Amino acid sequence: MQKAKNCNSGFTLVEVLVALFIFSLVIGGAVNLLVSSLSAQKISLKIEQVLREQSNLAEYMGRAFRQATKDLTGNCFAAGNNYGLVNGATGIRFISRDGFCEQISLSGAQIVEQKSTDSNAANFGAQVALTSNNVTVDSLVFALLGQNQTDTLQPRVTFFAQINGIQLQTTVSQRNFDVQQ
C-alpha cells in the first residue's frame, strides 16, 4: 500500500514571487509616505522660522517707532521731523527714547540697527543684526506719513519686508501726539 503525497507541504515559486511583489509595493508606499512627511515637516519648520523672525522684527521695530521722539535740533535728520528716510527708503532714522540717533536699514541680506554713540548722528556704533543668518531679507522699504511737525497728521511709519519670499507689511503710529514745541 502506497502513502498519499502531502500537497500542503510548502509554497510554489509563483506564490513566493507574488507575495514578494505585494510586500514590496506595501513597503515602497510606506517609505514614500515617510519621505514626503519628512520633506513637508522640513518646509513647515522653515516657514515657521521665517514667521517667527518676522514677528520679532515687527514687534521690535514697532516698539522703537512708537517711542521715537522729534528731532528738534536736526542732528539726526531734518529738524522738526519725527523720522527721516535714508538709503533710498531702505533705511530710517529716528531719535530713540533715550535721546540717541538710531538707524534701521537693509545691509546685504540682513536688517541691521545702528545707534549713535553720542548726540551726533555721524558717530554711529557697530551694526547689530535684527535678523538671523538663517533667513534672507529680499527687500525692506519704509514709507512715512505725517513725519513733519507742520502737518496735521499723526506720524506713521509703514514698513514692508520680504523675508525668504514671505511678505510683511506693518504700519505703526507714534505714541506721542505730534504737537509743535
Environment class of 98 (CB within 10 Å of its CB; exposed 0-12, middle 13-18, buried 19+): exposed
Q: Find where cell 517667527 sits.
A: 52
Residue type, 151: D
Question: Is residue 116 included in any domain, yes or no?
Answer: yes
Position 11 scores a pLDDT of 85
Position 82 scores a pLDDT of 87
Buried b (16+ CB within 10 A) or exposed e, 135-174: bebeebbbebebbbbeeeeebbbebebbbbeeebebebbb
Q: Percent of the chain, pLDDT > 70?
A: 90
Q: What is the mean pLDDT of the chain?
A: 87
Q: Mean pLDDT lowest for which of 1-5, 98-102, 169-173?
A: 1-5
Domain count, the chain: 1
Question: Is residue 124 included in any domain, yes or no?
Answer: yes
Q: Which structural domain, as residue segments, surrounds residue 54?
A: 49-173
The per-residue pLDDT for range 128-152, each reduced to its tens digit, is: 999 999 899 999 999 998 877 777 7
Question: Is residue 3 included in any domain, yes or no?
Answer: no
Residues 6 or more apart from 63 whose CB is under 8 A from it?
Answer: none
Q: What is the pTM of this model?
A: 0.76
Interatomic CA distance for residues 80 and 72, integer angstroms: 5
Cell numbers that stand for 39 in this block: 520633506
Question: Is residue 18 included in any domain, yes or no?
Answer: no
Interatomic CA distance for residues 98 and 83, integer angstroms: 15
Question: Is residue 12 included in any domain, yes or no?
Answer: no
Residues 6 or more apart from 168 whose CB is under 8 A from it?
Answer: 54, 57, 58, 160, 161, 162
Beta bridge partners of 129: 112
The per-residue pLDDT for range 100-110, each reduced to its tens digit, is: 999 999 999 99
